[in-house]
């Protein structure tokens, strides 16, 4: 990959509305930054488990887990995952449910589903070896532009760029790019900058150095410019307001959603339902319930949801409380109930599967954050304490 642009324009002087994909690349400044970044990385790189391996499969797992997730959260998941699935064949052969179980708590479960599907493609179509080229990597499920660049450069030493929030922040400040990074043309400009800076030896280390600098020194709110290897030539620092960059358009509005879920027990077994594949929390298990309609009371919404989706009628109900959960574009308020009696046979609509399970078996199923919080609220981390509370509640209702 070769950047052919000459250096003429100062990207920091771009006018609003300017087509940033046409802006020119400050090659000399990037070349200086490149040398300083690699030198800094050699002395300061954190010792992370995925940096001790050259195995493309292990690097792929780490890059997938690291999407939207902090490094210290990922480390124990990465270790457990590789102990259970040490190579792409073992992952491809596994039940998806087991993959979900190892992913429980990491969130964004579509990553686990895509990883599993992509592992099967690698075994079937690539004889068990991850392809090296970005174009081929991007044909695999769940591998987008960033992950393809990360794998190609870090695992295979190819001169391929990657752009994430850290890279944008460092480059926006270093070059004082004062354009809205919510605009596609501006993001494309960062891809071009990242492609220009990655040319040369050690492309994987260079990409990791950029991300590492953004994660540890050039942080969103308080960049530690005194400790930064780019400080001498940093235009954002020279302008005196590095923390104001990058400029971002207003955040997408978060939609508020209210929903209900119920613990429904019959003859010592609890009803669990599995969501359809795809979409939010796709394929995961949860307590039955559903979203409330506008203006609907939670208990009425629960009766309606259970009748519509499962053909069940609750004959007694106790409010256990509520939990909140924030998704990327959705703020969920979940009202949690204990069903104290149920009639009808399950007629399933809208769920992929249902099971009557012991509380501990239910707690062990792969489920998302809201269900985990609901189970904690119900005391299901300790099934016996939950049962005694339920017995007590039933007694009070009958008395
Ligand atoms: S000098 Fe400061 S603002 Fe510039 S890249 Fe370094 S940490 Fe970021």
Ligand 1: which of 167, 209, 223, 226 to mutate, judged by most atoms within 8 Å of the beta carbon?
223
Summary mean pLDDT of the chain:
88
**Pair 217, 294: CB distance under 8 Å:** no
Which domain CATH number covers 31? 1.10.340.30
Q: Indicate whether residue 170 lines ligand 1 (CB < 6 A).
A: yes
The answer to whether residues 261 and 389 belong to one domain is yes
Kindly report the length of the chain.
Answer: 399
Give me the domain span that covers residue 205: 11-164+184-220
Q: Indicate whether residue 234 lines ligand 1 (CB < 6 A).
A: yes
Average pLDDT (188-198) is 96
The answer to whether residues 52 and 111 belong to one domain is yes
Q: Indicate whether residue 228 lines ligand 1 (CB < 6 A).
A: yes
* Residue 286: inside a domain: yes
The answer to whether residues 301 and 385 belong to one domain is yes
The answer to whether residues 47 and 193 belong to one domain is yes
pLDDT tens column, 58-117? 999 999 999 989 999 999 999 999 999 999 999 999 999 899 889 988 888 889 999 999
* Ligand 1 centre distance from Cα of residue 52 (Å): 28
Average pLDDT (237-241) is 95
Q: Indicate whether residue 172 lines ligand 1 (CB < 6 A).
A: no
- Hey, which residues are catalytic here? 63
The predicted pLDDT at position 391 comes to 52
How many angstroms separate the CA atoms of 211 and 78, rounded? 19
* Ligand 1 centre distance from Cα of residue 79 (Å): 33
Helix (H) or strand (E) holding 338: strand 330-343
Average pLDDT (3-31) is 58
* Ligand 1 centre distance from Cα of residue 334 (Å): 42
The answer to whether residues 274 and 377 belong to one domain is yes
Q: What b/e string do you get for 194-220 counting C-beta neighbours within 10 Å, with b at 16 or more?
A: bbbbbbeebbbbbbbbbbbbbbbbbee
The answer to whether residues 132 and 274 belong to one domain is no
Q: Indicate whether residue 237 lines ligand 1 (CB < 6 A).
A: yes
pLDDT tens column, 330-371? 999 999 999 988 898 888 888 889 999 998 889 888 888 999
pTM: 0.71
* Ligand 1 centre distance from Cα of residue 183 (Å): 23
* Residue 384: inside a domain: yes
The answer to whether residues 214 and 295 belong to one domain is no
The answer to whether residues 203 and 328 belong to one domain is no
* Residue 225: inside a domain: no
The answer to whether residues 68 and 148 belong to one domain is yes
* 197, 185, 158, 149 alpha-carbon torsion, rounded to 10°: 120
* Residue 231: inside a domain: no
Per the structure, the count of domains in the chain is 2
The predicted pLDDT at position 6 comes to 36
* Residue 283: inside a domain: yes
The answer to whether residues 53 and 199 belong to one domain is yes
Ligand 1: which of 227, 228, 232 to mutate, judged by most atoms within 8 Å of the beta carbon?
228
The answer to whether residues 188 and 291 belong to one domain is no
Q: Indicate whether residue 231 lines ligand 1 (CB < 6 A).
A: yes
* Ligand 1 centre distance from Cα of residue 397 (Å): 64
* Residue 371: inside a domain: yes
The answer to whether residues 78 and 133 belong to one domain is yes
The predicted pLDDT at position 384 comes to 46
* Residue 177: inside a domain: no
Q: Which residues pair with 335 in a beta bridge?
A: 260, 322
Which domain CATH number covers 354? 3.90.79.10
* Residue 5: inside a domain: no
CA dist list (Å): 129 to 85, 123, 132, 307: 15, 7, 9, 49
């Amino acid at each position: 990959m070769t950047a052919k642009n000459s250096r003429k324009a100062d990207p920091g002087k771009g006018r609003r509305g300017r087509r940033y994909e046409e802006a020119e690349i400050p090659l000399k400044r990037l070349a200086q930054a490149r040398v300083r970044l690699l030198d800094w990385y050699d002395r300061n790189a954190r010792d992370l488990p995925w940096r001790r391996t050259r195995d493309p499969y292990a690097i792929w797992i780490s890059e997938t887990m690291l999407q939207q997730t902090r490094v210290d959260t990922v480390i124990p998941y990465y270790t457990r995952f590789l102990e259970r699935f040490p190579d792409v064949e073992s992952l491809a052969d596994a039940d998806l449910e087991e993959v979900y179980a190892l992913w429980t708590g990491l969130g964004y479960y579509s990553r686990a589903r895509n990883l599993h599907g992509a592992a099967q493609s690698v075994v079937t179509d690539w004889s068990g070896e991850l392809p090296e080229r970005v174009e081929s990597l991007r044909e695999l499920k769940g591998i987008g532009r960033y992950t393809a660049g990360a794998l190609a450069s870090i695992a295979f030493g190819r001169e391929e760029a990657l752009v994430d929030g850290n890279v944008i922040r460092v480059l926006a400040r270093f070059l004082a790019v004062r354009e809205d990074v919510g605009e596609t043309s501006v993001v494309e400009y960062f891809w071009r900058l990242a492609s220009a800076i990655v040319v040369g030896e050690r492309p994987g280390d260079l990409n990791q150095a950029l991300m590492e600098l953004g994660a540890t020194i050039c942080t969103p709110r308080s960049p530690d410019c005194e400790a930064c290897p780019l400080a001498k030539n940093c235009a954002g620092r020279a302008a005196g307001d590095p923390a104001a960059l990058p400029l971002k358009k207003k955040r997408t509005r978060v939609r508020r959603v209210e929903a209900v879920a119920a613990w429904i027990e019959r003859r010592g077994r609890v009803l669990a339902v599995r969501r359809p594949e795809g979409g939010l929390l796709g394929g995961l298990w949860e307590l039955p319930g559903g979203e409330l309609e506008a203006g609907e009371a939670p208990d009425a919404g629960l009766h309606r949801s259970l009748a519509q989706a499962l053909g069940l009628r609750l004959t007694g109900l106790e409010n256990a409380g509520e939990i909140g959960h924030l998704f990327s574009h959705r703020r969920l308020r979940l009202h949690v109930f204990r069903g104290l009696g149920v009639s009808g046979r399950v007629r399933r609509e809208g769920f992929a599967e249902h099971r009557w399970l012991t509380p501990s078996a239910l707690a062990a199923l792969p489920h998302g954050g809201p269900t985990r919080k609901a189970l904690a609220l119900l005391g299901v981390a300790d099934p016996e304490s939950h049962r005694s509370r339920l017995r007590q509640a039933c007694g009070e209702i009958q008395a």
